[in-house]
A and B are shown apart, each in its own frame.
Chain A
Amino acid sequence: EAQVTQNPRYLITVTGKKLTVTCSQNMNHEYMSWYRQDPGLGLRQIYYSMNVEVTDKGDVPEGYKVSRKEKRNFPLILESPSPNQTSLYFCASSDWTGLAKNIQYFGAGTRLSVL
């Protein structure tokens, strides 16, 4: 089954404690992306990657890091989480080329609370 898998689904942590949210896709997509969803603000892109070892900032990259060492994985790293990073996070992947026009396939979401 084609899917994007995020872990964990829920996470409660404290300020300053480094954490990683994993994301994996099995569709051989080149393009992967992280979004955060906050009430009243819509989905905002944090980082994206167009291929292995190629990453770029989205609209709200501050406080986050990503890596793309393999095509299927795109972890999101919060080196020193702060309460304003409490949010619902989505990983997505897409076939960047041709007719697909970057249709995003989303993971189930990770709800993060930073105390």
Chain B
Amino acid sequence: ILNVEQSPQSLHVQEGDSTNFTCSFPSSNFYALHWYRWETAKSPEALFVMTLNGDEKKKGRISATLNTKEGYSYLYIKGSQPEDSATYLCASMNSGYSTLTFGKGTMLLVSP
């Protein structure tokens, strides 16, 4: 079982603040890193899939970076809005495995 860790566990920011979270994963035999957004009472939805060291992905105000050599990924939200409130999950997949291993998530609350 891979060990995927996310920090912080939870975060409370004000509308307009920028924020970032960390996902740590095993760097050996790395294959892919996923980020998902999970709103309360809904199902998780994919934000990004990244595979290459140095990858950067962007979707609106949300962006992510990947460092496969040291085994971490950052998710950034610029100018947080209340609708960004959700749990953000990362998941890692290593070559040779057929499964994704999820972290426990970072719960973000954005207050107006």
Contact = CB atoms under 8 A, between A and B. Distances in A.
Interface in B4-50: 31-32, 34, 36, 42-46, 49
Interface in A74-115: 90, 100-109
Contact of B102 (A44, A50, A108, A109): A44
A26 to B, nearest CB: 15
Contacts of B105: 42
B49 A107 contact: no
A59 B100 CA distance: 10
A35 B102 CA distance: 10
Contacts, number: 57
Given A41-B104, A42-B89, A104 B98 contact: no
Contact of B93 (A41, A50, A101, A106): A101
- B: contact size bracket: 20 to 34
B104 A104 contact: no
Contacts of A59: 1, 99, 101
Interface string B95-112: 000111111110000000
Interface of B: 1, 31-32, 34, 36, 42-46, 49, 51, 89, 91, 93, 98-105
